[in-house]
Chains A and B, each alone.
Chain A
Amino acid sequence: MNNETFEPTIIGFTCNWCSYRASDLAGTARMKYAPNVRLIRLMCSGRLDPTFVLRALSEGADGVMITGCHPGECHYIEQNYKALRRYLLLKRVLAGMGIEPGRVKLVWASAAEGAKFAAETTLFVEEIRKLGPLNWGRADSGPQTVDREVPSTVHNPSSEMEVPA
């Protein structure tokens, strides 16, 4: 797919107290930004279970944006640091799964930073657009299809892709 016409689908996780309010503020101020991010409200970035990111990526998201309060400003005192620690380990694991580090991004945005939220969203969408679609497990059909649909690679003996056991 041509990356310039590619419209990424992105899941965004927001903290109820800062970034979700920042998105509200961006709305109230009618700031226009890229429509590709679909938000999920959590109470805190500390609630972010890496499972959510993996699920989003495996179910069709091209990128995941995680947002939280600035370091030191967490509504729950310090839980955003815990999100940061998880995020950094998750990125390492994702790298091992062949996922570009840029597909999952942590952004700090306070409740007052509607403009920042809008700008960061648009920026992230552009970054993902450059990376192209992720299409986890579906670009080339999932493993079920490999066998069920009998792709040439497996059953066509003349194929160069023949990979016998």
Chain B
Amino acid sequence: MTAKPKFAMYWAASCGGCEIAVLNTHEKILDVDANFDVVFWPVAMDAKYKDVEAMEDGSILLTLFNGGIRNDENEHIAKLLRQKSKILVAFGSCACEGCIPGLANLSPVGDIVHTAFNTLTTDNPNEVYPRTSYDVPEGELHIPTLSRMVRPLEQVVDVDYFMPGCPPESHQIAAVIDLVIKVVKGEAELPPKGSVIGCGDSTVCDECPRARNVKFIKEFKRIQDIAPIDPTLCLLEQGVPCNGPATRSGCNARCPQAGAQCIGCYGPADGVLDYGARLITAFSSVIDANTPEEIDHILDGIPDPTGQVYRFNLAGSLLKANREAWKVVNGK
């Protein structure tokens, strides 16, 4: 009997939700075990980096990499897993486009540390900041160093496939697992390299059951400020800045179906260079006003435009980060 192909899964800058989503595939997880030899999956089993380092290059068939690249450890493992894997999948929004951790790119890294260690909510009277290395009797200790900004996996290493979502929907994960198993058995072929998998070709509206008409918006509002909200009508049409029109389909319009606007976790559709630009044009296209004053008044209904259009995609956008975050700040 030939050895089962090897499988790895890793989390970098992420919340762990992706792992939960994998476990949410229920019994499908058994197929993974049945068909793969799980060699590295820190959340599920004990493994050491040096074990991976010892593996032969390209010996892992499939690696699902979730999380963005926030520090040198993330980057090191990304490069390591790239080297060892045949197929590297950027798994989940963080790895694909930075996701919520990517919003940290709105601030210089120094500010982030400062906020974490020396604001009202932190009891740090001596202003002690952690250091990356520290001499102890046993020798020098290291902890990972933050990089200047969060980067999607693709900005660090070559990526074979992208699987979006925060987290990817479990039914989509199951479908991808099925596909890979079929490929292993020689029953199917892999999609072209660079493909976005485990999702639809269109955007969320495609799967959204709400009725849609031509839209003319005189006012943008937060969903909680609309009463009563029409449960059957397009949310954008009701003045809610819903990210659905620009967000890749595949989630079955989960949020709009539940009465909340889409916030964009599946990222942009195919061929889109900048997700935020698509939302800028989507929202501005439905504004029903012609004078700058009126238009500005309507736009006031979107209190945080940058956050609105880049909630999941900032690190993967064309500008990637706030101008301040690009700068090396001298001294804090």
Contacts and interface: CB of A to CB of B under 8 A. Distances in A.
Interface residues of B, number: 62
Nearest to A98: B323
A165 interface: yes
A49 B151 CA distance: 25
Interface in B251-278: 273-274, 276-278
B326 A160 contact: no
B285 A82 contact: yes
A93 interface: yes
Tell me if B's interface is mostly helix, strand, loop or mixed: mixed
B55 interface: no
A55 B330 contact: no
Given A89-B305, A160-B332, A164-B143, A84 B326 contact: no
A123 interface: no
Contact of B283 (A89, A136, A155): A89
Contact of B305 (A93, A153, A162): A93
Interface stretch (B105-113, B178-186, B231-239): B105-113
Interface in A141-165: 142-144, 146-147, 151, 153-155, 157, 160-165
Contacts of A82: 284-285
Interface string B182-208: 000000000000000000000000000
Interface string B290-323: 1010011001001011110110000001111111
Interface string A61-81: 000000000010000001001
Contacts of A31: none
Given A88-B296, A93-B306, A154 B145 contact: yes
Interface residues of A, number: 44
Interface stretch (B29-37, B42-50, B70-78, B166-174): B70-78
Contact of A85 (B106, B133, B278, B285): B285
B327 to A, nearest CB: 6
Contact of B284 (A54, A89, A151): A89
A51 to B, nearest CB: 4
B147 interface: yes
Nearest to A81: B290
A50 B277 contact: yes
A55 B147 CA distance: 24
Contacts of A35: none
11 contacts: A51-B273, A51-B278, A86-B280, A89-B299, A92-B302, A93-B276, A93-B306, A97-B323, A161-B110, A161-B332, A164-B132
Interface of B: 70-72, 75, 106, 109-110, 112-113, 129-133, 143-149, 151, 155, 273-274, 276-278, 280-281, 283-285, 287, 289-290, 292, 295-296, 299, 302, 304-307, 309-310, 317-324, 326-332
